[in-house]
Amino acid sequence: MFEKSLYDLIRGLRGHKGSEVEYIQNSLRECRSEIKSQDMDKKAIALLKLIYLEMFGYDMSWASFHVLEVMSAPKYLQKRVGYLAAAQSFRAETEVLMLATNLLKKDIVSSSVVNLLLPLATLPHILTPSLAMSLLNDILPRLSHSNTTIRKKSIVVLYRLALVYPESLKAAWPKIKERLMDENEDNSVIAAVVNVVCELGWRRPHDFLPLAPRFFELLVDSGNNWMAIKIIKLFATLIPLEPRLVRKLLRPLISIIQTTSAMSLLYECINGIIQGGILTEAEGTQEGDEIAGLCVAKLRGMVVLDADPNLKYVALLAFNRIVLSHPELVAMQQTVIMDCLDDADISIRLQALELVVQMVTSETLQDTVNRLIVQLLKGHELDLEPNRDNSVDIESNPNISSQISQSVSENQRSRTQLDLPSEYRNEVFTRILDICSRDNYSDIIDFEWYVNILGQLLKLLLRLNVGSFTLYNDESMQESPEADIAMRIGSEIRNIAVRVKAIRKEATRTAESFLFLADHQQTQRTITSPHVGALGPSAWLAGEFADCLAFPDRVLNILISPNSKGLPGATLALYLQAMPKIFLQLLSSQPEFSTSSYAEYSITLARLITFLEDLGAHPDLDVQERATEFLELLRLSEDALKSRFDTAQEVPFLLTWVIPGIFKGFDLNSVAIGAQKKVPLPEHLDLDEAINDKLPRALDNSFEKWMEPKEYNSIHSFYYIQQDSTSIHWDNSLGAQADTSSIITEQLKDYGKLSDHHLIRKDYSRDDPFYIGHHEGNLEKADTYNFLDVNNDELDIDSIPIIDLRMGDGPSASSLAGGQSMDVEKLRTRPGRFEIAADETIDADESYSSESLNPRVESKPRSQRSLLQVDSSGLERMTLVDSHQNPSVQPKVIQGAEELEMAEAMRKIEGLRLEMQRASERINVDGIPSEGTLIKKKKLKRKKRPKTKVSSKAEVEETSE
């Protein structure tokens, strides 16, 4: 039968376009039959084809035993195929791997160099702890081999052994160190040792600090760029342990930066200087300033002169690290960095954006933010025609307007458009808010400009949602980045209005214009957009500072529109909080009523009541509670408005002072984050004491069993047995229900569950219109009378007691408002001196640090895995230096007798685990015990010589004499 070679397989695969799967299946069947052949050449060719098909994703683990057979072939070409298949297909759980131990031992000690290189190249891919422990003593002598390549590969294999079996590093380190310190050693072997030491150095740098003189010598004299890169990385980990290395390394590093033409060495040298803290340690010295300026100049050259985007990215990455210690040097390159914001590579733009955020100052803040907003406008071709009636004009800022016109002309010339992915766009929004609100708005000089910027961001957010809308449900919408950004912008406007009183009117007008725009967009679509996150803070701002609104009637119409019922519960709750405040502001703005205004406000009040009645059964409990509370207040307002207009055409006192007094009190200032933790606990408060011992049992379904029968009957009759309608009588003169609580009180007194104080309080608050008793729920069920029915002529609203909530003889509201407006005008003339209110907190005697207020939970250390997917955390527990040899460099990791015992116990457990693993890998044969059998050597029996021959010989001698 004709046998296919690997080249035939590749040609056939290319020739069967469209039917590759069928061709590969036929080839696999051929390989399965060929690999069982006794001819080793045929078996090797079949295995080579399986290796090629395995790269396409076809499993070849079924051929692991045949791989082992080809590995043991006598010919080098066949053996090479077997080792290649082992490196590609063998895993730690491969069963036949334990059978390869003796074969590997044999090839490692082989006198043939080519055969010796095969296991050294394969071992890093197939090593297991048991295999590493078995082969350690065979690999160590190879470090003294006469061949340079074998010494180099042996060093790399020992590093792989140290990852899976950390104990091997302690045994191999003296020979590795010997290769490093040998001045006559080949450069490739020294480079291999430096690579291994660099990989181990970041785990235990203390063990390699005594080798610093040798590394410094190699850095200066080697001339190998790759070795210099590794040594610089190693010194970056050693400098924190020995700061005196900084003075020693400054001149060589400056020389490398000035003379090298290799960009890789140049960047790694700059990166090592930054990571090692050389810039910080040498700050203030002449050499430190020289090397800092040299690094910035070289990085600028990478950004400006080099067209490679990779170098531009790593240069910006280095700039982000230098700006922490030398912001003034990086700020000098602001023009170059700002140009990177328009780069075609999104990763370069993100790095430039992060760098811009760190280098912003109060002088450059406005220009930077304007540049970012122009980028958002230019990237999405937004409609720049403003809606001057109900929106904040983006072109109202002259700086942005000029930049917009310039960018539009550039677009017309180039006919190209900057692509802005949604992730980058959201990052720009977030960064603008970060740099403006940093350190309690310390970089903002003009808060009018900042409020204008927030209004532009809201308008941009609305326009970006048009045409590129993603369908969200309520939960995913609240978790979307766009919703978070909208919520944060709205919170920023609210925060500015609360903290900076001089800009409160402008902030309220900005929130008002956003409500207009959002309502216009919402009427054109039936799907809720993510920008609803900003509607809640805007509505809160409109209600809290309703006197600053330009069109309070339009805002109120937006809040009570039918579209508002479909908003999320958190947003709708803030809408409900703002509705009565804006309505009361409308009433108080007109001291006298006309017939037209009375009809207008009556219709508005009726719409409010209808809107709140529909929310009485809302699934959100907060919305349901607020709707019920405000509904009762508005019903009282409706009744008072009607009765007062019949007698005198003026706003009732109930609507001008009593109900507004509920919402007016102390100013709502921002509260510090840790203020709640500073509230002292009462002395007699025991948080561990149960409030109600019977509550856990009450949650059980069988609560009737633990409750007393008499008590259960009374509670059951109170809640579940309907009272006779004749027992409820009415006092028409008062327009309220008569005291029906006395009947219930007499019933409950029999069981001793109601105190006299409770009865007195209920009797006192019976006629209080602001008191909501437990029996009011039955009033709606009774058809006899409803005291909230405004059509009932017997209801006397004047009998309701009026409470004056004004405290003291303070100045009137009008005088306060006038004084406040005068202060606003004064502050506007000097935009650089705004007063920002601080967070409210509690002045406690004890000092609370940021760590105590935000305790960090110590997380469990993660297992460190290398690129070889091996847990290397065991290397951190190994020490290469004895404590009596050099105690100064010994790390203080293990302290105390308990930790020493724990480390010793862990070492023993690891040894026992490896022994058990090796025992489980042994082959058990039926009929032979697991501990094995004792084989005795059979003794050979020697034949006895006959004695007759000796005696006869003696007799012959005697006769001869």
Evaluate whether 921 touches 130 at the Cβ level (below 8 Å).
Answer: yes
pLDDT of residue 227: 92
Of 43-57, 302-316, 414-428, 707-721, minimum mean pLDDT range: 707-721
- On whether residue 528 sits in a domain, the answer given is no
pLDDT of residue 388: 38
- Residue closest to 346 by CA, chosen among 289, 241, 262, 423: 423
Residue position matching structure tokens 């509260």: 671
Helices in 690-784 by DSSP H: which ranges? 695-698, 703-706, 709-720, 741-749, 756-764, 777-781
DSSP string, 156-202: HHHHHHHHH-THHHHHHHHHHHHHHH-TTS-HHHHHHHHHHHHHHHT
pLDDT of residue 819: 42
Residue position matching structure tokens 């072997």: 189
State the average pLDDT over residues 55-66.
92
* Most confidently predicted of 64-78, 674-688, 881-895: 64-78
Q: How far apart are CA 767 and CA 735, in angstroms?
A: 10
- On whether residue 68 sits in a domain, the answer given is no
pTM assigned to the model = 0.64
pLDDT of residue 605: 87
Angle between the 212-221 and 245-259 helix axes, to the nearest 10 degrees?
20
- Higher-pLDDT residue of 844 and 8 is 8
How many structural domains are present in the chain? 2
Question: For residue 460, what are the contacts with CB-CB under 8 A and spacing of at least 6?
Answer: 373, 376, 377, 382, 394
Q: How far apart are CA 394 and CA 458, in angstroms?
A: 10
pLDDT of residue 541: 92
* Most confidently predicted of 109-113, 706-710, 757-761: 109-113
Q: pLDDT averaged over the chain?
A: 75
pLDDT band at 763 (very low <50, low <70, confident <90, very high): low
Evaluate whether 602 touches 759 at the Cβ level (below 8 Å).
Answer: no
Angle ∠(398,404,405) on CA atoms, nearest 5: 95
Phi-psi region of 830 (alpha: psi -120 to 50; beta: other; left: phi over 0): beta
- On whether residue 776 sits in a domain, the answer given is no
State the average pLDDT over residues 723-736.
39
- Residue closest to 238 by CA, chosen among 746, 131, 230: 230
State the average pLDDT over residues 585-603.
76
pLDDT band at 705 (very low <50, low <70, confident <90, very high): very low
Angle ∠(213,217,222) on CA atoms, nearest 5: 150
Q: How far apart are CA 948 and CA 942, in angstroms?
A: 18
Residue position matching structure tokens 């219930």: 744
**Residue 722 backbone phi and psi in degrees, to 5:** -75, 135
Evaluate whether 181 touches 213 at the Cβ level (below 8 Å).
Answer: no
- Residue closest to 882 by CA, chosen among 166, 170, 136: 170
- On whether residue 937 sits in a domain, the answer given is no
The domain boundary, picked from 637, 668, 699, lies at 668
Residue position matching structure tokens 């002259």: 398
The domain boundary, picked from 359, 377, 394, lies at 359
Evaluate whether 206 touches 891 at the Cβ level (below 8 Å).
Answer: yes
Q: How far apart are CA 84 and CA 300, in angstroms?
A: 47
pLDDT of residue 697: 57
**Could you read off the pLDDT of 775-798 as tens digits, one per residue?**
444 433 334 334 334 444 444 445
Range of the domain at 243: 208-359
- Higher-pLDDT residue of 379 and 434 is 434
pLDDT band at 465 (very low <50, low <70, confident <90, very high): low
> What's the Cα-to-Cα distance from 506 to each of 119, 447, 550, rounded to whole Å?
77, 10, 10
C-beta neighbour count of 609 within 10 angstroms: 16
Q: How far apart are CA 461 and CA 443, in angstroms?
A: 24
Return the amino acid letter for 307: A
State the average pLDDT over residues 922-938.
56
> Is 688 a residue whose pLDDT tops 50?
yes
> Is 206 a residue whose pLDDT tops 50?
yes
Evaluate whether 75 touches 90 at the Cβ level (below 8 Å).
Answer: no
- Residue closest to 528 by CA, chosen among 536, 270, 357: 536
- Higher-pLDDT residue of 414 and 624 is 624
pLDDT of residue 384: 40
What the block records as the tokens of 253 is 């590093």
- On whether residue 677 sits in a domain, the answer given is no
pLDDT of residue 279: 83
Residue length, the chain? 961
The proportion of the chain whose per-residue pLDDT surpasses 70, expressed as a percent, equals 66
H/E run at residue 132: helix 129-139
> Is 231 a residue whose pLDDT tops 50?
yes
Return the amino acid letter for 470: T
- Higher-pLDDT residue of 851 and 281 is 281
Q: Burial, 221: exposed, middle or buried (Cβ in 10 Å; 0-12, 13-18, 19+)?
A: exposed
- On whether residue 99 sits in a domain, the answer given is no
Question: For residue 193, what are the contacts with CB-CB under 8 A and spacing of at least 6?
Answer: 155, 176, 179, 180
pLDDT of residue 791: 43
**Residue 865 backbone phi and psi in degrees, to 5:** -115, 135
Q: How far apart are CA 802 and CA 658, in angstroms?
A: 7
pLDDT band at 737 (very low <50, low <70, confident <90, very high): very low
- Reduced to 3 states, what is the DSSP secondary structure of residue 224? coil
State the average pLDDT over residues 44-57.
93
**Could you read off the pLDDT of 947-956 as tens digits, one per residue?**
544 444 444 3
**Could you read off the pLDDT of 916-925 as tens digits, one per residue?**
776 766 655 5
Evaluate whether 179 touches 143 at the Cβ level (below 8 Å).
Answer: yes
The torsion angle over the Cα atoms of residues 478, 479, 483 and 486, rounded to 10 degrees, is: 100
Of 134-138, 369-373, 781-785, minimum mean pLDDT range: 781-785
pLDDT of residue 422: 83
> Is 532 a residue whose pLDDT tops 90?
no
- On whether residue 951 sits in a domain, the answer given is no
The proportion of the chain whose per-residue pLDDT surpasses 90, expressed as a percent, equals 33
The domain boundary, picked from 633, 668, 703, lies at 668
- Which residues is 731 bridged to in the sheet? 736
Residue position matching structure tokens 């079949």: 46
For residue 804, what is the DSSP state? -
The CA-to-CA distance between both ends of the chain, in Å, stands at: 90
Of 21-35, 91-105, 193-207, 896-910, minimum mean pLDDT range: 896-910
State the average pLDDT over residues 412-419.
46
Handedness of CA 428, 429, 431, 435 (dihedral sign): positive
Report the greatest alpha carbon distance in the chain: 180
Q: How far apart are CA 711 and CA 704, in angstroms?
A: 10
Question: For residue 513, what are the contacts with CB-CB under 8 A and spacing of at least 6?
Answer: 390, 391, 392, 455
pLDDT band at 704 (very low <50, low <70, confident <90, very high): very low
What the block records as the tokens of 381 is 């071709």
CATH of the domain at 292: 1.25.10.10
State the average pLDDT over residues 680-694.
79
pLDDT of residue 275: 86
- On whether residue 217 sits in a domain, the answer given is yes
> Is 433 a residue whose pLDDT tops 60?
yes
**Could you read off the pLDDT of 627-678 as tens digits, one per residue?**
999 998 888 888 877 775 555 566 777 777 778 778 877 777 777 777 878 8
pLDDT of residue 131: 92
> Is 732 a residue whose pLDDT tops 60?
no
- Residue closest to 119 by CA, chosen among 129, 128, 106, 130: 106
**Could you read off the pLDDT of 843-878 as tens digits, one per residue?**
544 444 444 444 433 444 444 444 445 556 666 666
Residue position matching structure tokens 């709606």: 780
